[in-house]
Chains A and B, each alone.
Chain A
């Protein structure tokens, strides 16, 4: 069966520090991968998605970047965090079909101080 791992679960970082959040998927090949950010009362905002190794689409211009160095690995990064980067970050994957539902990791709670 497929599983998705996301870490760390919580993270407290000072403003201006770098960020690296990692997500890996097991049990499937060539998944579509996604990073979402969730702010209280505002639903989920799609940040990046990837349909293959090295292929990244950005939905919202911002202080963050994403990379997909391996088929089932998706990394969210920042060189210098801002206070506004605080939030709950969720990694997700789905299959090739447009009707394929998303499968989410347990999220990372990022607090920038």
Chain B
């Protein structure tokens, strides 16, 4: 069975500082990996996805993530955050069986001025 672990429930960071949100997954088959962002009282929006190929994936709003198969990780990074990046971020995995996407518990990013 698949699972996703987001290692930090909250990450406070100052504006213009770099940030890394950690995600580890477990799966016995090939997986597709996603990061979603949720702003207060809204649904989730796709930030980026890893399907195959280059292990460094670039997404919207200056975010990028690196797939590391040996460490079963898919950490999200941004070199310089803005106040507007304050939101909850979810790592997710779906497998080649389709239909089911499993989400981590989420990491709340709080950007301080």
Q: How many A-B residue pairs have CB under 8 A?
A: 59
On whether the beta carbons of A90 and B101 are closer than 8 Å, the reply is no
- Which one of B43, B46, B95 contacts A105 once the chains associate, using CB atoms below 8 Å? B43
The 8 A CB mask of A40-67 against B (1 = contact, 0 = none) is: 0111101001010000010100000000
Q: Which residues of B contact A92 (CB under 8 A)?
A: 43-44
A27 touches B (CB below 8 Å):
no
CA distance A106 to B99 in the complex (A): 21
Number of B residues contacting the other chain (C-beta, 8 Å)? 27
B28 touches A (CB below 8 Å):
no
On whether the beta carbons of A104 and B94 are closer than 8 Å, the reply is no
Q: Which residues of A contact B49 (CB under 8 A)?
A: 99, 101
A98 touches B (CB below 8 Å):
yes
CA distance A13 to B103 in the complex (A): 28
- Which one of A90, A98, A102 contacts B46 once the chains associate, using CB atoms below 8 Å? A102
Q: Which residues of B contact A32 (CB under 8 A)?
A: 99
Name the prevailing secondary structure of the A interface residues: strand
The 8 A CB mask of B80-113 against A (1 = contact, 0 = none) is: 0000000000101011111111111110000000
- Which one of A41, A99, A103 contacts B105 once the chains associate, using CB atoms below 8 Å? A41
On whether the beta carbons of A44 and B90 are closer than 8 Å, the reply is yes
CA distance A41 to B96 in the complex (A): 28
On whether the beta carbons of B105 and A43 are closer than 8 Å, the reply is yes
B61 touches A (CB below 8 Å):
no
State the Cβ distance, A19 to closest chain B Cβ, in Å: 19
CA distance A50 to B97 in the complex (A): 15
Sample 16 A-B pairs with CB under 8 A, ordered by A number: A41-B9, A41-B105, A42-B105, A43-B90, A43-B103, A44-B103, A49-B100, A90-B43, A92-B44, A99-B94, A101-B46, A101-B49, A102-B46, A102-B101, A103-B46, A107-B42
